[in-house]
Chain A
Amino acid sequence: MGAGRRAVVVIAALGSFLAVSLAGTALAQSVGSSAGPSNSGPIDFVEGTIADLNTVNPWKALTTQEYEVIGMNFDMLENFDKANLSAAPGLATSWTQSPDALTWTFTIRGDAKWQDGQPVTADDIAYTYNTTLQCQLGNSLDYLVPDYTKSIEATSPTTLVWTMNTPNTAPVRPPWVYIVPKHIWDGKPCSDIKKDPFFDNGKMIGSGPFQMTEWVKGESWTMTANKDYWGGAPQIDRFIVKHYNNAEAMVTALKQGEIDYTGTPSIALFNQISQENGANGITAHLGPTSGFDQMSFNMCDPSAADAAPYCKRTGGTGNPILQDVTVRKAIEMAIDKQTLVDKVLQGTGSIGSTIVPWPQYHLDPPDAIQFSISGANALLDQAGYTDTDGDGIRNDPKSGQNLEFRFILRSDSDYGAQLGQYISGWLKQIGIKTINTVETTNKLTNDWYDNDYDMYIWGWYPDPDPDFILSTFTSHQCGSWSDTCYSNPEYDQMYKAQQTAQSQQQRVDIINQMQQKIYDDIPEIVLEYNRTTELYNSAKWAGLEDNQSPQPEGTLWSQYTPYSALTVHLRGNEAASTSSGGIPAIAWVGIIAVVGIVVAGVIGVSRRRSASDEDMA
């Protein structure tokens, strides 16, 4: 037996020994630490999402995922009512308004604790509100109505006093501001607070039912139950979110039991699962209207007397023909919104009308524009837009130009391009030509900032309180949140009026008028409202469907105030943990052993060389 062959045998023997010992270790470990009977591992509720988590700074929250985490980690002064999203007790148990309507007094509960054990007092709330105002922090600023707030003070550990200079119902909208602990943040300069990543610095200390304890960026984030929560301990130990990059993989994971819930499947996947009628124990839940898709027109005309300030400064390239409301009305008349709901949304939505979708404030316009190609054609004929050069496209009577408009669709939208295609087709029938381009959100943002567009399609998920979405049509929001740079002094006045309305009924009346005004002026067309689509493992989990928010039609999870986070629990005696999927560890031992033996064999063979490498036959 040559030296080489002996070496091979030794290596092979070593390899087998290694394999056997690894096998033993693997067996021992997998029995010990992986999923076992229900009382061994923590009870985890796992969500899958396509949208990644970007920041957990409560003042920077924007996306659903961010609000989900922050909403569980922190409390608000008042919660969103479970049924109708109005103000309900949160950290404040009750409140009164002074007879002159200028002062609101809140009683703060005494049993709330920060997740580091310190008690929550009215001081923390006053600190948070005042810091938000002074440092001009984030998107919650509007809720504190800086123009009308005179002072916010804690007069005792359990009393908060909010004084206005004008009567206002803002304190009971409710204010969407998350309360942070004064003892951690007090004294920090505004710039530090603005830039603080919160979790990375160990500052995710709130008073909510869960606390973020782990974040592997891009992959997953974990929230651990706060058993001392004033609203009761959650019935799960951890809430975990796993990030996926494509919806198919995510839904596959749901079916395989790797995740328990997802709120972001595409419409096609949602319908597919709906039709499977509970196979794999998955329930498809269609929720309330939560947002809308809109077709916006460029309303910036720098030469107009009441053009928005930003529009005057920046100028724009919007086609002047679109400044004529008759043209915009004809366009809206030519769009068959029902077809969009049926074909593009595949039934997961409803026809759009006004800019406020939530039932509590939504106005159904009494003279809604009906789909009618002939009606649209008649309207344009009457207004003098006839086809003077016979090319099938109508001409502007003043300039002689074709009615040809640039139409931007977003590539990042699931179905934006589809909406655009349908609409282009209908507009062709009324003699309007569109030049469609598909752009990334980035590029569209640039064009929008430059007012360099004619029409585009985008969408909104408005807050439960309509103040914000209404504010986006005011003139000073041009260059900030305004979709169109629509500018109308009468509308601006109405916006101020609803903010300072003395009673809820008065406010509702003004808001209805505002919706009607936008509906009549058509700076944008609300194409359709979309409903939330959720999938979850109903065979394993209970406590969700009976705790929807709002009601009667609400979402099962990721609610404005997380009610279902406290009620979700395992059905029966199901095993707690989910498997990770894949072939068993033993198989990997085998694979490694085989690879090791092959490599050893190759090395052994190639070492077997005689003295002379030019052996003769």
Chain B
Amino acid sequence: MGTQRYLLGKVVQLVITLFFVLTFTFFLFHYFMPGDPVRTFLKAAGAKYTPAQAEQLKHEFGLDQPIFPNQYVRFLKETATLHMGASTIIYPDSSVTSIFWSRVGKSLILITTSTIASIVIGVAMGIYGGWRRGGWVDNSSMSSSLVLYAMPEFVLGMILLLIFSRWLGWFPAGGYDGAPVTQYTGFAHFADVANHMALPWLTLMLAYLGEFYLLMRSSLLDVLGEEYITLARAKGVREKYVLRRHAVRNALLPTVTLIALSFGFILGGVITVEIVFSYPGVGLLSYQALRARDFPVLQATFLFAAVAVLIANLIADLTYAYLDPRVRSA
């Protein structure tokens, strides 16, 4: 019963936070961002747009209404019912949901697989490094992790692109697959997509690997100094159980929190990596929509980003509760 209540509480918290995030970004865009989408469109389209036609266009875009409350309420309604309308600038007259769905799967595969790999490998290495502190493995992991942590993702991406695509020719220079030139099906298509995703995946995985390694390692070192560890050893518990049952479980707690916090940055990194590799995901779409001031598409990408971060935090909260029984019964 306690767990159910806890879970419900977390979900309600998520919805409220989402509401605040969307409200904040809505006002940020409409009040503070320079650049009027109608004017951008008119300047680009020109033709014989009489002032009356320009007004009509503004009306069609829904921009002639007062921002608060009309446009705001419309925004909330559209977001809640997922009726995002049509793109105005990037793909004029095409439905936002169709544009979005064609991209979101590609980004999700990339983000989830690389983040999971990054977490698993980073944490495992961190545990090993913290446990066998001072060994050559620890020292070399430490220095390479610092380098990776310090390097911006897109720089890492460009370096990998240069080495593996330009010089060695092992992987293609960008995109999602070879279609429509190649017409693979089944496993051959999977391999084709894997080839195209390999470098962006590697970039994202390495970019955050360093951070997770350092987090876990320092967290473990902290815990190893605790009194209950000394007690366990004094009791005669075998080293590997001291590590597994006592040290790691406690060290994971702050690590989980910090990993959840970094998810927002991972999404930001995805945008730059998708640009470097021309990977047609939601990150690239956000960038294009922002430049073009295409509000309907921007709404969709913001909703996605907000929900993704909040869900990641929810998962982290639940993991925390799973790891630490004290939290559950509170």
The answer to whether the Cβ of B91 comes within 8 Å of any Cβ in the partner chain is yes
CB–CB B186/A25 < 8 A: yes
Contact yes or no, A243 B181, CB < 8 A: no
Contacts of B329 in A (CB 8 A): none
B290 to chain A, nearest CB (A): 10
In the bound complex, residues from chain B placing their C-beta under 8 Å from that of A445 are 35-36, 39-40, 43
B230, chain A: closest CB distance, angstroms: 16
* B243-284 interface with A by 8 A CB criterion: 245, 275-278, 280, 284
Contact A245 B46 (CB under 8 A): no
A22 within 8 A of B: yes
A446 and B46 contacting across the interface, CB-CB below 8 Å: no
Determine the residue in chain A with the shortest Cβ distance to B51. A479
B227 at the A/B interface (Cβ < 8 Å)? no
Q: Which residues of A contact B192 (CB under 8 A)?
A: 580, 582, 585
A242 at the interface (CB under 8 A from B): yes
Residue A398 lies at the interface, judged by CB distance under 8 Å to chain B: no
Cβ B181 vs Cβ A29 within 8 A:
no
Report the minimal beta-carbon distance from A606 to chain B, rounded to whole angstroms. Answer: 9
Cβ A218 vs Cβ B103 within 8 A: yes
Which chain B residues border A34 with CB–CB below 8 Å? 182, 184, 188
Interface string of B156-189 (1 = CB under 8 A from A): 0000010001100111111111111111111110
State how many residues of chain B have any CB contact under 8 Å with chain A: 74
Q: Are A581 and B181 within 8 A (Cβ)?
A: no
The CA of A403 and the CA of B90, in the complex, are separated in Å by 40
Report whether B178 and A613 are in contact in the complex, using a CB–CB cutoff of 8 Å.
no
Select A442's contact among B40, B95, B198, beta carbons within 8 Å. Answer: B40
Query: What residues of chain B lie closer than 8 Å to A41, measured between beta carbons?
Result: 183
Contacts A252-B165, A583-B170: A615 and B241 contacting too (C-beta < 8 A)?
yes
The reply to whether the CB of B288 lies closer than 8 angstroms to some CB of chain A is yes
Q: Which of A246, A578, A615 contacts B278 (CB 8 A)?
A: A246
Measured between alpha carbons, how far is A141 from B47 in the docked complex, in Å? Answer: 8
Task: Mark interface residues in A196-235 (1 if CB within 8 Å of B CB, else 0).
Answer: 1100100000000000001011111010000000000000
Q: B196 — nearest CB in chain A belongs to which residue?
A: A582
CB nearest to B292 among chain A residues = A442
Answer yes or no: A443 CB below 8 A from chain B CBs: yes
Name the residue of chain B whose CB is nearest to the CB of A479: B51
Tell me if A615 and B238 are in contact (CB < 8 A).
yes
B-binding segment of A53-61, A79-87, A120-128: A53-61
Asked if A44 and B181 make an inter-chain contact with CB atoms under 8 angstroms apart, the answer reads: yes
The verdict on A399 contacting chain B, using a C-beta distance below 8 Å, is no
Residues in B whose Cβ lies below 8 Å from that of A529:
none
* CB proximity to B under 8 Å, residues A543-585: 577-585
Bound complex: CA A216 to CA B179 (Å): 10
Residues of B within 8 Å of A585, CB to CB, are: 187-188, 191-192
When chains A and B are docked, how far (Å) is the Cα of A52 from the Cα of B91?
9
Contact with B along A415-428 (1 / 0, CB 8 A): 00000000000000
Chain A residues with CB under 8 A of B173? 244, 249-250, 252-253, 256, 258, 581
Residue contact A582 to B187, C-beta cutoff 8 Å: no
Report whether A238 and B245 are in contact in the complex, using a CB–CB cutoff of 8 Å.
Answer: no
A332 at interface by CB-CB < 8 Å: no
Q: Closest chain B residue to A25 by CB distance?
A: B187
- In the bound complex, residues from chain B placing their C-beta under 8 Å from that of A584 are 191
A238 CA to B195 CA, complexed, in Å? 24
**Which A residues are CB-close (under 8 A) to B195?**
580-583, 588
Give B22-43 interface residues, CB cut-off 8 Å to A: 34-36, 39-40, 42-43
- For this complex, into which size category does the number of interface residues on chain A fall? 35 or more
Of all chain B residues, the one with the shortest Cβ separation from A26 is: B187
Q: By the criterion CB–CB under 8 Å, are B93 and A57 in contact?
A: yes
Flag if B291 contacts A195 (CB, 8 Å): no
Asked if A55 contacts B285 (CB within 8 A), the reply is no
Chain A residue numbers with a CB within 8 Å of B322 are: none
What is the number of contacts between chain A and chain B, taking CB atoms within 8 Å? 211
A142 sits at the interface (CB 8 A): yes
Whether A33 contacts B36 by the Cβ 8 Å rule is no
Are B198 and A29 interface neighbours, CB within 8 A? Answer: no
B102 at the interface (CB under 8 A from A): yes
**A62: Cβ under 8 A from any B Cβ:** yes
Q: How far is the CA of A216 from the CA of B102 in the complex (A)?
A: 8
Query: Which residues of A sit under 8 angstroms from B181, Cβ to Cβ?
Result: 44, 46, 240, 242, 258, 577-578, 580
8 Å CB interface, B61-95 against A: 86, 89-95
Q: How far apart are the CA atoms of A613 and B284 in the complex, in Å?
A: 50
A59 smallest CB distance to B (angstroms): 9
Q: Which of A54, A195, A214 has the most CB of B within 10 A?
A: A54
Q: Does B202 contact A (CB under 8 A)?
A: no
- In the bound complex, residues from chain B placing their C-beta under 8 Å from that of A136 are 47-48, 53
Given A44-B181, A245-B284, A617-B236 contact (CB < 8 Å): yes
If A139-B47, A246-B278, A449-B43 touch, does A29 touch B172 (CB 8 Å cutoff)? Answer: no
Known contacts A217-B102, A443-B34; A581 and B171 CB within 8 A of each other: yes
With beta carbons under 8 angstroms apart, the residue of B44, B49, B172, B275 that contacts A581 is: B172
Interface residues of B in 208-241 (CB under 8 A from A): 235-238, 241
Assess A30 versus B188: contact at CB under 8 Å? Given A258-B173, A446-B35, A582-B196: yes
Chain B nearest CB: distance from A467 CB in Å?
14
B188/A29 in contact, CB under 8 A: yes
A447 to chain B, nearest CB (A): 9
**A35 within 8 A of partner (CB):** yes
Residue of B nearest to A255 (CB): B166
CB within 8 Å for A62 and B45 given contacts A34-B182, A217-B91: yes
> Roughly how many angstroms separate A373 CA and B49 CA in the complex, as a whole number?
42
Residues of chain A within 8 A (CB-CB) of B99 are 217
Q: Which residues of B sit under 8 angstroms from A220, Cβ to Cβ? A: 179-180
Task: For the complex, give the distance between the alpha carbons of A34 and B182 in Å.
Answer: 6
Bound-state Cα–Cα, A252 to B292, Å: 28
Interface residues in A139-174 by Cβ distance below 8 A to B read 139, 141-142
Bound-state CA distance A342–B238 (Å) is 75
Task: Give B186 Cβ to nearest chain A Cβ, in Å.
Answer: 5
B304 within 8 A of A: no
By the criterion CB–CB under 8 Å, are B188 and A54 in contact?
no
State in angstroms the CA–CA spacing of A441 and B237 once bound together. 67
Besides A219-B175, A442-B35, A580-B195, 11 more A-B contacts (Cβ < 8 Å) are A30-B191, A33-B185, A60-B45, A62-B45, A195-B86, A196-B93, A218-B103, A220-B180, A222-B180, A245-B174, A579-B182
- B interface residue numbers (CB < 8 A to A): 34-36, 39-40, 42-49, 51, 53, 86, 89-95, 98-99, 102-103, 161, 165-166, 169-188, 190-192, 194-196, 198, 235-238, 241, 245, 275-278, 280, 284-285, 288, 291-293
The 5 tightest CB contacts between A and B, nearest first, are: A582-B195, A580-B178, A442-B35, A581-B172, A585-B191
A-B residue pairs in contact (CB < 8 Å), sample of 12? A30-B184, A245-B284, A246-B275, A249-B174, A252-B173, A443-B35, A580-B177, A582-B198, A585-B187, A588-B194, A613-B245, A614-B235
